[in-house]
Amino acid sequence: ATLSGEKRKRDTMASSNLQSLRYSNEGGKTPTLSVLDQLLIPDKKEYVDIPDVEAAWGVIRSMQIRGAPLIAIVACLGLSVDLATNPKTKSELDNFSPDDADAILSYISKKTDYLRTSRPTAVNLFNALDELTEKMTEAASASANGDPKREKIVKCVVQYAEFMLERDVSDNEAIGAHGADAILSRVGDKGLKMVTICNTGSLATAGFGTALGVVRELQRRNKLESITALETRPYNQGSRLTAFEIVEEKMPGGQLICDSMAASLMKTKGVDACVVGADRVCANGDTANKIGTYNLSIVAAAHDVPFYVASPFTTLDTKLQSGDDIEIEERPAKELLDTARAPQNIPCWNPSFDVTPAKYITGIITEKGVIEKSEDGTFDIISFVKKHS
């Protein structure tokens, strides 16, 4: 069923005081979408309208929105708004016969292909668009019930994108519960000192969060003593976004440190566990996440601190055998130079992600459960995916 604006607002806000996006669909045929411009946080809260796929592509590419789950959701919702309400798109669709499913699907595929070019590393985007394409094809081939195939396809995109939005929130809450159970079971039923990097909370998802959702669930259970956010250079997602969420959610013991302070924190103050997000998890457990995650995993291993990855099931990519196969996005040098106060003519290397080897990861938390290592110390991601697909 389509979601009213008020119901969507209640659902998205049920687990958090923060809204990464605003979506409504009054009457079921006129969806609207706007997203929080995260480049302005924490100084301002401003929303950007997304009337078409070009706008969706733009906010993803510019990192006005970021976080693998949110990227996927905004791409799919952006496509649905484009097809249902964008005058230019509707006019172009008028050039095809309403029942020419092949032509309509081919036209839409150009839009999904375009959305795939926005950011290459996060597999959630590609999986979500593949899933949506499969549903469109099914809708187009379904027996006629009086509605033109164009109407059926567009209706399918809108409704399935809404389903993805709703599913993301419930999946994140399940990730939080599974993660809290696993960490408390391993380190003891007590108030925990947690560490995270980048931003994996409500601002990275449709609501609640993945890795920060685990922290939020520990807070709900009164099992959170402190949460430390790494600054996450050079784009400062930790200091701009996670610190903002920690303050907004009044998380106990919240504090911010520089990326290079993690080792000293573990040695002098003590840390019970690290929990981080993921943009792609390979068949062997190697995990791509925000640059600096690899460093943190090595520091955690040196101090015998459990290191957990928390991400949706859709982040598991068994097509790639290891992290060596992951395409790592490189961002413009300007993004590093502008935050480093460096000479503008110094050459820069600015990868957006790194790959944490599976050997440094304690467990991988998904909404379907926690993947733990076998007796030989390896992850069997393929069997987990087969079991839960």
- CA–CA separation, 96 and 264 (whole Å): 64
- Of 272, 279, 317, 354, the active-site residue reads 279
Cα dihedral value 278, 332, 232, 367, nearest 10: -20
Query: With 0-12 CB in 10 A as exposed, 13-18 as middle and 19+ as buried, what is 1?
Result: exposed
Is-catalytic flag, 279?
A: yes
If you compute the radius of gyration of the chain from its CA atoms, what whole number of angstroms results? 21
56 and 21 Cβ atoms separated by less than 8 Å:
no
Q: Would you report the helix, strand and coil content of the chain in percent, each value rounded to 5?
A: 50, 15, 35
CB atoms within 10 A of CB 107: 18
- CA–CA separation, 57 and 47 (whole Å): 16
Closest by Cα among 220, 202, 210, 186 to 307: 186
Alpha helix stretches (DSSP H) within the chain: 5-13, 53-61, 68-85, 87-93, 101-116, 123-141, 149-187, 211-220, 237, 243-248, 262-268, 293-302, 333-340, 381-388
286 and 340 Cβ atoms separated by less than 8 Å:
no
For residue 225, give both structure tokens: 């003593």
- CA–CA separation, 103 and 90 (whole Å): 14
Longest dimension (CA), the chain: 70
- CA–CA separation, 103 and 137 (whole Å): 12
Closest by Cα among 317, 336, 275, 35 to 165: 35
Report the amino acid identity of residue 163.
Answer: F
For residue 189, give both structure tokens: 């039923």
Catalytic residues: 279
